[in-house]
Amino acid sequence: MNDPILTESKDGVFCIEICRPDKKNALTSAMYTALADALDAAERDAAVRVIVIHGQPGIFTAGNDLGDFLANPPLQENPPPPVFRFLDTFSSLKKPFIAAVSGVAVGVGTTLLLHCDLVYAGTSARFQLPFVSLGLCPEAASSLLLPALAGHARAAEMLLLCEPFDATKAREVGLVNAVLPDEQVVEHALAQARKLAALPAASVRLTKQMLKSAQQALIAQTMQSEVRHFKERLVSPEAKEAFAAFFDKRKPDFGQFNQ
């Protein structure tokens, strides 16, 4: 089996590739661990100045592998479940974090972008925040960061209705910096990373810190609250119905639940 998380470090740029295309780069518990380990390694390595994450042309990530997710539900406290460790890791990176996105970017594939410093999308990019439709709630501080970025009305539309939106809308709301042809998006992100890597590293990190400092405590507080509610929702009747309907390939029936 090929390694689903590939890394390469060159000229100050640490590149992470999600590589499970046969499953639309759906993330398993083991992949979350590998991603968190890769980000930790990049943060510790003095030679790394910038971190880039991407998938393949036409695929970023479909979010959680639901079969693996239900087999390994993130309910324990210690050690923290791999998915929550990954969220904590990318939300507190000190080095610049860049994403190149094309194709599907579902769930955490969209919320992690809220923590990136630069995001570039291919024309095929399709974003979705399906938490409510799965009987769950937002994660990765998206309930804080998305309204701050897009405004309440557009954030409510994306988080409550759970409908996919394209790269043009993502650009309009400020989620991505630019939209490019799919075949150019990774190289463009790497080119921007190389520009950053050539600048004074301490100044770059300080500027990132200053840009994020006003929200950092709120982000941590919001993520803690979201995790608590997410765990409660994960064992709720609505979530059980949503997941059962997904695997049964049918429309879920939420009308049976009164609260």
pLDDT digits (tens, 9 = 90+) for 31-88: 999 999 999 999 999 999 999 999 999 999 999 999 999 999 999 888 999 999 999 9
Dist CA 152 CA 137 (whole Å)? 16
Measured in whole angstroms, the distance separating CA 243 from the mean position of its chain's CA atoms is 21
Is the confidence at residue 171, as pLDDT, over 80? yes
Give me the percent of the chain exceeding a pLDDT of 90: 95
State the virtual CA torsion across 9, 15, 20, 23 in degrees, nearest 10: 170
Any idea which fold 5-181 has? 2-enoyl-CoA Hydratase; Chain A, domain 1 (3.90.226)
Name the residue among 99, 29, 20, 33 with its Cα closest to residue 62: 20
List helix spans (H) across 128-259.
Answer: 142-150, 152-161, 167-172, 182-197, 201-234, 237-248
Neighbour tally for 9: CB within 10 Å: 14
The ranges assigned to domains in the chain are: 5-181
Per-residue pLDDT at 91 exceeds 80: yes
Report how far residue 97's alpha carbon sits from residue 119's, in angstroms, rounded to the nearest whole number. 9
Examine the pLDDT at 1 and tell me if it is beyond 80.
Answer: no
Distance, CA of 101 to CA of 189 (rounded, Å): 10
| 257: confidence class by pLDDT, cuts 50, 70, 90 | confident
Compute the average pLDDT of residues 134-151.
98
Predicted structure pTM score:
0.96
Instruction: With cut-offs at 50, 70 and 90, classify the pLDDT of residue 177.
Output: very high
